[in-house]
Amino acid sequence: MKAYIFPGQGAQFTGMGLDLYQNSPLAQELFEQANDILGFSITDIMFEGSVEDLKQTKVTQPAIFLHSVILAKTLGDDFKPEMVAGHSLGEFSALVANGVLTFEDGLKLVSKRALAMQKACEAQESTMAAVLGLDDAVVEEVCANIDGVVVAANYNCPGQLVISGEIAAIDKACAALTEKGARRALKLPVGGAFHSPLMAPAREELAEAIKNTTFSEPTCPVYQNVVAKAVTNPDEIKENLIAQLTAPVRWTQCVQAMISDGGTEFVEVGPGKVLQGLMRKIDRNVTASGAGN
């Protein structure tokens, strides 16, 4: 079965989406529509902005979403997903790709999510750190024994887990994890503790917007980050999407569930090749490529 996977924050690059805009009238139309919906010219920042410009949360999340969704739409009849999944923010792209959300509603929710997360980051200084070379259970145990807020946030692939929380707690956890034999426990250049309890204010804000948005029946199952299994019920999809902001991204488990359910060919739709790299570390027996490659 063919699975389409959609990247999250961190996949952005300067000039992203310009080739789509120049080569597809449909892409051009959707990008212009996005500028109108957002109330600012995101295309100027995507096509000509600096790395710093693209790092603004209010820009990063919609930019990656637009690149992914518009690329999927330009594939036309070739785009026939039998299963979809997205890494964190990428779950919104996946839900547009399988017909649960419209382009406009998806973009509005992503913009709302980005602004709510930015606000939560500004309310309390916090961060994330990548931990390499330890079993998940060891990382979880260390986090559970640290004073303060620090939790497992992104299960990216075996031996690569991102933790999230208060700065002091992250520092203590990194020291303890290094002692436990981590190959690396390194703070990431991010603005806050995504997928941790510190995102609760953002979750509340986004919950209202999600509840007031129409979610349709999907054309194929979405493997959601929170539950790491196939979901097709629109009400369940909503609940999982709300929970996602404070819950871990179980990406390894999502991919394993897709493979177990018959996924053999994985196509990454969006900027960069991060997910293709993770696929090779999760299971070398399946093929992973980029859309349009």
What pLDDT score was predicted for residue 191? 80
pLDDT tens, 14-38?
999 999 999 999 999 999 999 999 9
Task: Say which amino acid occupies 76.
Answer: G
- Give catalytic status of residue 88 as yes or no: yes
If DSSP codes are grouped into helix, strand and coil, which group holds residue 3?
strand
Q: ∠ CA 73-60-277 to the nearest 5 degrees?
A: 70
> Which pTM does this prediction carry?
0.96
What pLDDT score was predicted for residue 234? 98
Task: Say which amino acid occupies 40.
Answer: F
Helices and strands in the chain: count of H runs, count of E runs:
13, 10
CA distance 268 to 272: 9
Q: Residues in the chain, how many?
A: 293
Intervals of the chain under pLDDT 50: none
pLDDT tens, 144-197?
999 999 999 999 999 999 999 999 999 999 999 999 999 999 999 888 999 999
If DSSP codes are grouped into helix, strand and coil, which group holds residue 82?
coil
Two tokens, residue 273: 């090749």
Q: Which of the following is catalytic: 68, 88, 126, 164?
A: 88
What pLDDT score was predicted for residue 42? 97
Going by the DSSP 8-state scheme, the letter that residue 249 receives in this structure is B
CA distance 188 to 195: 14
Helices (H), 184-227: 200-211
What pLDDT score was predicted for residue 239? 98
If DSSP codes are grouped into helix, strand and coil, which group holds residue 86?
strand
70: nearest Cα among 111, 29, 40? 29
CA distance 143 to 83: 33
Q: Which residues contact 189 (CB under 8 A, 6 or more apart)?
A: none
What pLDDT score was predicted for residue 212? 97
Q: Which of the following is catalytic: 67, 93, 126, 195?
A: 195
What pLDDT score was predicted for residue 292? 66
What pLDDT score was predicted for residue 57? 78
What pLDDT score was predicted for residue 276? 96
CA distance 147 to 170: 10
Two tokens, residue 248: 């871990």
Torsion of CA 93, 234, 202, 4, to 10 degrees: -20
If DSSP codes are grouped into helix, strand and coil, which group holds residue 184?
strand
- Give catalytic status of residue 87 as yes or no: no
Q: ∠ CA 194-198-200 to the nearest 5 degrees?
A: 95
DSSP E strand boundaries for the chain: 2-6, 83-86, 126-132, 150-157, 160-166, 184-187, 222-223, 230-231, 265-268, 287-290
Two tokens, residue 137: 């259970």
Contact by Cβ (8 Å): 66, 17? yes
Contact by Cβ (8 Å): 214, 105? yes
What pLDDT score was predicted for residue 58? 84
What pLDDT score was predicted for residue 142? 98
